[in-house]
Structure 1
């Protein structure tokens, strides 16, 4: 006989809902401002709660942003899982980069922390983050090596170089520059960055 799932109290549901709203706001602000410029006051204001209430969920900006980065990795993992197994590896890579660029355009993709950022040190000590990053990287790495074996990606490039190049598109400053120019629609920007990423700059 299965054990019934314990009911979550209304108070706990509200707590979880507010925590999710906090994480969503942190992700958006990390995309807009990056870690070093973002403050806990910014997050509290974005959620519409007092800063004291924010600290009931997360004791520091580092802890909050670390949790937000873990959540983003979870979303990447979930998206990867939706891609059909029969889809060619290069198309999977292109779809993932497209998804990342669309999140970046909507300020839903946190910018990667700089090497001297306190957040980077926190993330490197976060096992949940590192495990999630390893899982996603391994899957992307498999697609890269498959595409190289098929001659669709330059086989002379180390797979790690290709992996980091694709990761960089998720925080590509070119997207912001093109948005600020006002010359292109969001859809056009995504297509242009995809084209330069996968097809390069050389005339064909």
Structure 2
């Protein structure tokens, strides 16, 4: 029995509405950005009143923080479900593929570093910080192992690879390819993976 099955009907309805709110938050962040997003925008998109929205989240900061925590939780859950026999580089590739597919479905609005206000807000969110540290620890472990096996450049510091890797999840090339190329979503994902792990040099 899943988690929802263990909850009362009222609690299930509350949880489902909260998921809808976070979906709407991500969608609004993607289309308008943090600065222009309002609680009214989210409430209207979900089809609830603003007082109802405040029963779930007390502020825009709380709302965006919860959306980002849910995103990191999704990445951590994906890693937990990965085939343990995969090599470190295969795990890195699989996680980036997951992130790109989430992005193409509108589920990944931006990197926090693109907004100083969001970055400052998230640094105060202890739940978010804990999740990020856990994710970073796993990804750094994959990077170090891949360097040790010779699959990644050992001349590059781990943090350079780590942050470059994260930046691929929000590369604006994805939007350009969606708008102006004839590539399918699957082809976009494959090409972005190719750029990340193989580069643009002649093979």
Regarding TM over 0.5, the answer is yes
Deviation of the 1:115 alpha carbon: 5.4
Determine if contact 1:31/1:104 at 8 Å carries over to the other structure. Answer: no
For residues 7-26 of structure 1, what are the structure 2 equivalents within 5 Å?
8-26=7-25
Gaps of 5+ in 2: 1-5
For residues 27-106 of structure 1, what are the structure 2 equivalents within 5 Å?
27-106=26-105
Partners of 2:115 and 2:71 lie apart in 1 by 21
Relative distance call for 1:116 and 1:105 in structure 2 (3 A) is closer
Determine if contact 1:29/1:107 at 8 Å carries over to the other structure. Answer: no
Determine if contact 1:72/1:109 at 8 Å carries over to the other structure. Answer: yes
1:130 aligned residue:
129
Determine if contact 1:34/1:113 at 8 Å carries over to the other structure. Answer: no
For residues 177-188 of structure 1, what are the structure 2 equivalents within 5 Å?
177-188=176-187
Gaps of 5+ in 1: 1-6
Partners of 1:182 and 1:32 lie apart in 2 by 21
Deviation of the 1:113 alpha carbon: 2.8
1:164 aligned residue:
163
Determine if contact 1:69/1:110 at 8 Å carries over to the other structure. Answer: no
The structure whose RCO (Cα within 8 Å, separation 6+) is larger is 1
1:3 aligned residue:
none
Partners of 2:37 and 2:162 lie apart in 1 by 28
What secondary structure does 1:38 align onto?
coil
Q: Which structure shows the higher helix fraction?
A: 2
Q: How many residues are aligned here?
A: 198
Partners of 2:141 and 2:166 lie apart in 1 by 15
Relative to the length of structure 2, the TM-score reads: 0.91
CA RMSD of aligned residues (A): 1.6
Partners of 1:94 and 1:115 lie apart in 2 by 24
Determine if contact 1:35/1:113 at 8 Å carries over to the other structure. Answer: no
Residue deviations 1:56-112, cap 9 Å, x none? Answer: 211211110001101111111000111112111111100000100001111111212
